[in-house]
Amino acid sequence: MKLIVRVWRQQNAQEKGRFETYEAQDISSDMSFLEMLDVLNEQLIAQGHEPIAFDHDCREGICGMCSLVINGRPHGPDKGVTACQLHMRRFKDGDTITIEPWRARAFPVVKDLVVDRSAFDRIIEAGGYVSVKTGSAPEANTVPVPKPAAEDAMDAAACIGCGACVAACPNASAMLFVAAKVAHLSDLPQGQVEHKARVQDMVQAMDHEGFGNCTNHYECMAACPKQIHVKFIARLNRDYLRATTHP
C-alpha cells in the first residue's frame, strides 16, 4: 500500500507545532500501525529528514506507551486495542491518515508524538499503595476475598495508564484513570486501611496536575483500550464524598 500520512511535528512544549505530510510506501496490510511508522521513519532517514518521534515499548498492548490520536480517535478506529495492536489492514491503499499526540495541558509535548505523562505517576505516588506485613509470604487463603470483589478489582487493575481517557475527554479529565487505580486497591480487604486517605490524596493530586472533571460524556470508556467501565467513576465520587464528610 501507499499512504498519505499527516503527522504532527513539534520540537518541544514551548515551540509551535505543525502538520507535515509524507508518503509512506510499500506498506503491508499485515504490519501493525507502529511498524508502518518504523518503515516511514526509515524512508525519512534515507531521504535525509529527521525521523518522527513516537513512544513505544512492549508493542503487545500492555505498556500503554503508544499514545497516538489516529484520525481523531485515541489509538485509532478499532475498539479495545492500543495503537500497536491496530493493523494496517484497517486502512486502504491511498488513504490519508492523520496522527497527533494526546491533547491535554497536563500532558505537555516532549517531541512530535511523544508527551510527558509523568502526571499519572505523581497521582499514583499520592496514594497508590496498601499496608502489608512484610516477611514470609502469607497463606493465600488467610484473607478471603469475595469473588465479585476480586473480579471488580481485576477489571479496574486492567488499566495500563495510557492516557487515552484523557485524550478522548473534552475536559481532559483523568477520572477514569484515577477511579480505576483507586478501585483496584480499595475493592480488596488489604486496601481498606488507607481507603479514605487514598481517595482524597489521589483526587487532590489529579486536580493539582490540571486535569478537568467528569461531565459524563463517556468518551473515556469508548476510547479505553481495556474497556474499563465508567461505573468506577461513580464509585470514586461516592468514596470521595464519604471520605470528606465522614473522616
- Which strands make up the sheet holding 18-24, listed edge to edge? 18-24, 3-9, 96-100, 69-70, 73-74
Superfamily of domain 118-245: Alpha-helical ferredoxin (1.10.1060.10)
Residue 130: what pLDDT?
76
Query: 69 - beta bridge partners?
Result: 74, 100
Residue 243: what pLDDT?
93
Using only C-alpha atoms, the chain has a radius of gyration, in whole angstroms, of: 20
Q: How many CB atoms lie within 10 A of CB 46?
A: 8
Residue 186: what pLDDT?
87
Cell of 63: 505498556
Residue 144: what pLDDT?
85
Rounded Cα gap, residues 20 and 4, in angstroms: 10
> Which CATH fold would you assign to the domain 3-110?
Ubiquitin-like (UB roll) (3.10.20)
Collapsing DSSP states into helix, strand and coil, what is residue 63? coil
On whether the CB atoms of residues 154 and 195 are closer than 8 A, the answer is no
Rounded Cα gap, residues 77 and 152, in angstroms: 27
Residues 6+ apart with CB under 8 A from 23: 2, 3, 4, 5
Tens-level pLDDT at each residue, the chain (247 residues): 999 999 999 999 999 999 999 999 999 999 999 999 999 999 999 999 999 999 999 999 999 999 999 999 999 999 999 999 999 999 999 999 999 999 999 999 999 999 999 999 999 999 877 777 777 777 777 788 889 999 999 999 999 999 999 999 999 999 999 999 999 988 888 888 899 999 999 999 999 999 999 999 999 999 999 999 999 999 999 999 999 997 6
Residue 136: what pLDDT?
76
Query: 8 - beta bridge partners?
Result: 19
Residue 247: what pLDDT?
66
What are the DSSP E strand ranges found in 109-211?
Answer: 109-111, 114-115
Domain boundaries, the chain: 3-110, 118-245
